[in-house]
Amino acid sequence: MNHAFLKKLPKTDLHLHLDGSIRLSTLIELARETGVELPSYTEEGLRETVFKDSYRDLNEYLTGFAYTTAVMKTREQLERISYEVAVDNQLEGVRYIEVRFAPQLHASDDMDIIDCIRAVNDGLLRAKNEFNNRREVIDGLEPPFHYAIISCAMRFFTPAFSDWYRRFFEMHSFSDREIVFALASLELEEAVAKARWEEDLPAVGIDLAGAEAGWPALNHLETFTKAKGHFLRKTVHAGEAYGPESIYQAITDLYAERIGHGLTLLNPSAVKSRYIPDPVKYVDALASYIADRRITVEVCLTSNQQTDPAFRDLSNHPFKKMMEKKLSVTICTDNRTISNTTVTKELHKAVNTFDLTRYDLKNILVYGFKRSFFPGRYDEKRRYVRQCMEYFEKIEKEYFQEKER
């Protein structure tokens, strides 16, 4: 299966960070307009100095976000970047995306959390309307483009993260830090619920992101319990930089329906707790539990290669074992710009590294559509998934018939 075929197929990206996916040309232009200092003002220079093909470690990987978030401070900037992210996905055949970001990093005196979500939605909606007004979509020859927005709570933050976080710390200067983190998540959840149900924005769910080690998900139990009560969907970064216990906590205490990364899920040696007597049985039971409930793992191959030396050789990645255990998995980019990747590139890596069949590929793609947090009604989602899979079958048939001629 070559790159051209994979590019034509209808795809999803369910783990897509907005601040990690800005076009470099836009970053340079906005930095010049606003006086943000960059190490280079050419795309080639930025690729050499910041947004590399490989990184020493996670800390180096994260340095790029300081530059991208610096040009995401106004409604106009958020709308433009969101629009371009949607267009870039459309150009490679991605028909559904879930853009996630932490509006707390962009909120200010002039723009609250809901304003940030609204600005992102304005950009995504403009791209959606342009795409869906194409004749091929109107005539039903191709499936339309849809999207949703996920807001990220942070396990950990400092006043330096943003003006919003600085003010939040100032208002809770006598409180324990972990209480402050929990309160900030609660504030975000209430804003997202209002955006979803009062503003009718496609703010479908919340995520928990940030440093895993030392900052357990349990601190945010009340936030995710409230999210459940507000019918918001839930995904959690877990098992990326901590053991399988982090994944267990995400799916039990936080009701996570999807897991971001999940790298340690099948690794007994990553178990930290001394109260788990048999790590092998533990991870096997955890994997079975997740598989049985179709809790989906959002796999980000290139990002994992870049942040964890153990996966420089991609064949060491647990993705193959996840497939063998019949887990629900979907391939995602994480950060298109910082990882210098696309959904098509990620699928190409997966197919070639793990020798996937067309049947495997179809399962991965259908899980992306089925396990999405689609903002419409369930019957609408079912019709949309069927339309996308029929389009997959059409492209597959055309491509392989052409090859056989």
**288 close to 326: Cβ distance less than 8 angstroms:** no
**129 close to 146: Cβ distance less than 8 angstroms:** no
Tell me how many degrees the CA angle 14-15-20 measures, rounded to the nearest 5: 135
Q: What is the dihedral of CA 50, 53, 59, 65, to 10 degrees?
A: 50
pTM: predicted TM-score of the whole model, two decimal places:
0.96
Per-residue pLDDT, 402? 63
Classify residue 236 by its DSSP letter.
E
pLDDT at position 139 over 60: yes
- Yes or no: domain 3-20+86-404 corresponds to CATH 3.20.20.140: yes
Q: Exposed, middle or buried, 53 (CB in 10 Å: 0-12/13-18/19+)? A: exposed
- Give tens-digit pLDDT for 243-269: 999 999 999 999 999 999 999 999 999
Per-residue pLDDT, 57? 80
Sign of CA dihedral 213, 214, 219, 221: positive
Per-residue pLDDT, 255? 97
334: β partners:
16
Q: Give the whole-angstrom CA distance, residue 91 versus residue 16.
A: 16
Per-residue pLDDT, 244? 96
Neighbours of 361 (CB within 10 A): 20
Q: What is the mean pLDDT of the chain?
A: 95
As a whole number, mean pLDDT of residues 68-73 equals 97
| Helices 378-404, 358-370: inter-axial angle, 10-degree rounding | 160
Per-residue pLDDT, 403? 62
Nearest CA among 53, 147, 32, 61 for reference residue 101: 147
Domain limits, the chain: 3-20+86-404, 23-71
Per-residue pLDDT, 405? 52
Per-residue pLDDT, 404? 53
Q: Give the whole-angstrom CA distance, residue 45 versus residue 29.
A: 14
197 φ, ψ to 5°? -100, -20
Tokens at residue 210, please?
Answer: 């940030």
Per-residue pLDDT, 58? 79
14 φ, ψ to 5°? -95, -5
Counting residues of the chain whose pLDDT is more than 90, the rounded percentage is: 90
pLDDT at position 272 over 80: yes
- Give tens-digit pLDDT for 166-203: 999 999 999 999 999 999 999 999 999 999 999 999 99
As a whole number, mean pLDDT of residues 82-100 equals 98
- Give tens-digit pLDDT for 98-125: 999 999 999 999 999 999 999 999 999 9
Per-residue pLDDT, 56? 85
- Give tens-digit pLDDT for 319-376: 999 999 999 999 999 999 999 999 999 999 999 999 999 999 999 999 999 999 999 9
**301 close to 349: Cβ distance less than 8 angstroms:** yes
Kindly list the strands in the beta sheet with 296-299, ordered across the sheet, starting from the edge strand earlier in the chain: 11-17, 94-101, 146-154, 203-209, 233-238, 258-261, 296-299, 329-331
**361 close to 1: Cβ distance less than 8 angstroms:** yes
